[in-house]
Amino acid sequence: MLLRPALAAGLLILGLSQASGQSDAPVRAMDWQNTGRTHDEQRFSPLSQINDGNVQDLGLAWYADLTTDRGQEATPIVAGGVLYNVEPWNIVTAYDATNGRQLWRFDPQVPLRFGRLACCDIVSRGLAYADGKVFLATLDGRLIALDADSGEPVWSVLTVDNSEGYTITGAPRVFDGRVVIGNAGAEIGVRGYVSAYDAESGAMLWRWYTVPGNPALGFENEAMAMAAETWTGEWWHKGGGGTAWDSFAYDPALGLVYVGTGNGSPWVRRYRSPGGGDNLFLASIVALDAETGEYRWHYQTVPGEEWDYTATQNMILADLVIDGRQRQVLMQAPKNGFFYVLDRATGELISAEAIVPMTWASGIDMATGRPIENPEARYGTVPVMVSPSAGGAHNWNPMAFSPQTGLAYIPVTETYMAYSAPEDYSPETGPMGTSFTGHDEIRREIARYADENSRAWLAAWDPVTQTERWRVPYALKGSGGVLVTGGNLVFQGTIGTSFAAYRADTGEKLWEMPVQNVPIAAPITYMVDGVQYVAVNAGWGGGLAHVERNAYSELFLGPPRLLVFRLGGEAQLPPLPPESFVVPELSPPPPQPATASPEMVALGEQLYGQNCALCHGTAARGGVKDLRHMSPETHQAFADIVLGGALQANGMASFADVLSAEQAEAIHAYLIFRANEDWNADRGREAQ
């Protein structure tokens, strides 16, 4: 298994790319041309100039400040000595990869109102490169090919109907002249699909829906007719969901493209499919013919999904020896907490084991491939605690796989969450069909348990034995995506606002540098002119911020940046600005006095649950901005922000079309009430 070549620094050659396994031939070892580097999406680089023997000499080579202070989730790409990066609002910048000199910049001018449709921040997870073009997908649903030399658009196509709730946050993939892209919006009530476009012309080649539409209109293909057998009622009115918002992989020898699909829309199964059913192809791994888009096979990780358990987390292809047989496998650690190993030619389940403690299922029945569910997890209108939470045991933060160690490296979180269905669901009361309000005492109890028992770690997972080989525990949830290299190194950004390197075989920490922000994105590595670099985006935000506890406001955050490292790098970050050291949780100022009537607060709570909780957290805890800690200026500007769109450039679009001035004021009253409630509870604890 250990193939690491003992190469001297700088002697890396093209042929080394074979070390990373199949489907690597067209990609140069020194580049990182697609988000997962190669079509097998291993996020492994054979480069070993930086290795377990010298990583302590790693230093900052250069950095670039990023424009928008929101979640930076993108994996940069590198081709031919140029680094291409993408930020929130899909702004693309090309840099000289050796020194950070800006070569060009492209702003697709995404209309700011789309910020409201993005369930989990206005993020972009990456780009793709092929044959002199950089491919970009935008939040408002466009797919754009840019000339890699000039940054000028070559073609642009709209891939969604902008009258519905579609957005795109995932990276496009390009292979064999085709660009594949999915979309997001299952929280807004859309029908998911995947499309392929001609890389030269932008002409659409095929489209495959992930859930069936209205049978009266006829099914697009046999797979949709098959899927419709697993739905009941009139599901198509509510979209159905199943959006493929993040992960794809491609096997050129099998001619298959793999698609990871998302959660149901609405969340609660009986509100979208009253008679139950598996609801294909929610929460599934689906193999499609890469040329035609025809369905070949699927594996559904969560039949009848209703916990936001997406199977969109990154999929990795590798060849493993299991029970004495060479197997072509696909690996995934989706939100639901299991690690799956499938035969990628047939979809056969080879093995599945839990990577976290969980309550929703006790295992996978290997005879049927179905989870052994805990019936109590199928919630009603009274909140029940389920683990993992909607944040998942593993989310979009990519895992990586090393063919040298045979291990997968996974950013893991152990999470708990209150799930409940609203008493009076209708599409008008919110498209999600799940409730974030009511039964306060039960919710408080669950939140308390979740705070005390949630944790996170970096796991090295053996996919052959389905066991954990080592782990690095973190004090809090929220560490970043993972890179593994031929230098026996695993790189990861940490929730402790640092960037760290661990030995891939043992997990021993070899190097760590404070970087003033949390690199939640996945790092990459590349080589130019004989020098190996490691690059990562650092910028806290995104979906993980939603379900988290108070402690995040304790982070000391500098501006978001692209950071690039090399051996002997001597660049220095500027000192943190003084205001970064405001730590509300450690010395919170008293909140505004709560003066509103209980009726006003109750109305505000209901409206908050329907309009705000998705981004700002259940009961206003955490979220993209913790609204219990508003400054006097923010309180003053509350109506301007919520109705007037004053902060729309930062992703907070106007809600004037759905909220009246009185309703906005009720939400404001609820937030002031919540701030006082928690502030008083904290003072009470301190007094004990």
Instruction: Select 116 or 668, whichever has its Cβ closest to Ca ion.
Output: 116
Neighbours of 596 (CB within 10 A): 17
Q: What does the block give as tokens for 435? A: 């409730």
d(CA 272, CA 268): 7
Binding mask 46-85 for Ca ion (x = CB under 5 A): ----------------------------------------
Instruction: Select 278 or 308, whichever has its Cβ closest to Ca ion.
Output: 308
Instruction: Select 44 or 425, whichever has its Cβ closest to Ca ion.
Output: 425
Q: How far is the CB of 580 from Ca ion (least distance, A)?
A: 31
Instruction: Select 20 or 263, whichever has its Cβ closest to Ca ion.
Output: 263
Q: How far is the CB of 120 from Ca ion (least distance, A)?
A: 8
- Let me know the angle formed at the C-alpha of 119 by 447 and 602, rounded to the nearest 5 degrees: 50
Q: How far is the CB of 670 from Ca ion (least distance, A)?
A: 24
Instruction: Select 24 or 246, whichever has its Cβ closest to Ca ion.
Output: 246
d(CA 152, CA 550): 44
To the nearest 10 degrees (0 to 180), the angle between helices 598-611 and 661-687 is 100
Q: How far is the CB of 243 from Ca ion (least distance, A)?
A: 8
- Virtual torsion, Cα 68, 42, 504, 63, nearest 10 deg: -30
Backbone angles phi, psi at 687, to 5 degrees: -70, -20
Instruction: Select 29 or 547, whichever has its Cβ closest to Ca ion.
Output: 547
d(CA 668, CA 650): 20
Backbone angles phi, psi at 304, to 5 degrees: 65, 40
Q: How far is the CB of 364 from Ca ion (least distance, A)?
A: 22
Query: Does residue 38 come out as left (phi exceeding 0), alpha (psi in the -120 to 50 range) or beta?
Result: beta
Instruction: Select 239 or 569, whichever has its Cβ closest to Ca ion.
Output: 239
d(CA 629, CA 617): 13
| Full DSSP string of 576-597 | PPGGGG--TTTSPPPPPP--S-
Instruction: Select 227 or 244, whichever has its Cβ closest to Ca ion.
Output: 244
Stretch that binds Ca ion, among 14-22, 101-109, 214-222, 301-309 (CB under 5 A): 301-309
CB 417 within 8 A of CB 389: yes
Instruction: Select 33 or 263, whichever has its Cβ closest to Ca ion.
Output: 263
**For residue 176, what is the DSSP state?**
T
Stretch that binds Ca ion, among 260-268, 445-453, 502-510, 541-549 (CB under 5 A): 260-268
Would residue 251 show up in a list of annotated catalytic residues for this protein? no
Q: Which helix (H) or strand (E) holds 299?
A: strand 295-300
Stretch that binds Ca ion, among 304-312, 451-459, 467-475, 502-510 (CB under 5 A): 304-312
In which residue are the tokens 């904290």 written? 682
Q: Which helix (H) or strand (E) holds 64?
A: strand 58-65
3-class DSSP string for 608-620: HHHHCHHHHCHHH
Binding mask 594-633 for Ca ion (x = CB under 5 A): ----------------------------------------
In which residue are the tokens 């901005």 written? 625
- Judged by CB under 5 A, the residue of 51, 263, 404, 466 near Ca ion is 263
Q: How far is the CB of 623 from Ca ion (least distance, A)?
A: 15
Q: How far is the CB of 124 from Ca ion (least distance, A)?
A: 17
Q: How far is the CB of 152 from Ca ion (least distance, A)?
A: 35
Write the CB contacts of 600 (distance below 8 Å, at least 6 apart in sequence).
Answer: 665, 666, 669, 670
Q: How far is the CB of 335 from Ca ion (least distance, A)?
A: 9
Residue 642's SS3 state is: helix
Q: How far is the CB of 15 from Ca ion (least distance, A)?
A: 42
CB 441 within 8 A of CB 291: no
Q: How far is the CB of 186 from Ca ion (least distance, A)?
A: 5
d(CA 386, CA 418): 6
Stretch that binds Ca ion, among 262-270, 291-299, 341-349, 596-604 (CB under 5 A): 262-270
Catalytic residue (choose from 308, 505, 626, 678):
308
Stretch that binds Ca ion, among 255-263, 344-352, 595-603, 657-665 (CB under 5 A): 255-263
Closest by CA to 436, choosing from 616, 641, 601, 302, is: 616
Backbone angles phi, psi at 668, to 5 degrees: -60, -45
Stretch that binds Ca ion, among 7-15, 134-142, 259-267, 447-455 (CB under 5 A): 259-267
Instruction: Select 48 or 169, whichever has its Cβ closest to Ca ion.
Output: 169
Q: How far is the CB of 263 from Ca ion (least distance, A)?
A: 4
- Let me know the angle formed at the C-alpha of 441 by 436 and 446, rounded to the nearest 5 degrees: 65
- Virtual torsion, Cα 544, 502, 403, 170, nearest 10 deg: 20
Q: How far is the CB of 241 from Ca ion (least distance, A)?
A: 8
Q: Tell how strand 498-503 and strand 489-494 pair up.
A: antiparallel
Q: Spell 233-261 as b/e; 16+ CB within 10 A means b.
A: eebbebbbbbbbbbbbbbbbebebbbbbb
308 binds Ca ion, rule: CB under 5 A: yes
Segment 483 to 512, residues that bind Ca ion, using CB under 5 A: none
d(CA 652, CA 99): 34
d(CA 250, CA 286): 12
Stretch that binds Ca ion, among 30-38, 195-203, 256-264, 537-545 (CB under 5 A): 256-264
Instruction: Select 246 or 308, whichever has its Cβ closest to Ca ion.
Output: 308
Stretch that binds Ca ion, among 302-310, 364-372, 584-592, 611-619 (CB under 5 A): 302-310
Stretch that binds Ca ion, among 49-57, 300-308, 541-549, 584-592 (CB under 5 A): 300-308
Residue 157 CB-half CA count within 13 A: 18
Judged by CB under 5 A, the number of residues near Ca ion is: 2
**For residue 255, what is the DSSP state?**
T
Q: What does the block give as tokens for 646? A: 């004053």
d(CA 428, CA 419): 20
Instruction: Select 262 or 463, whichever has its Cβ closest to Ca ion.
Output: 262
167 binds Ca ion, rule: CB under 5 A: no
Residue 336's SS3 state is: coil
Residue 279 CB-half CA count within 13 A: 35
Instruction: Select 120 or 490, whichever has its Cβ closest to Ca ion.
Output: 120
In which residue are the tokens 């946050």 written? 169
CB 340 within 8 A of CB 334: yes
Positions in the binding site for Ca ion (CB under 5 A): 263, 308
What positions carry a catalytic annotation?
308
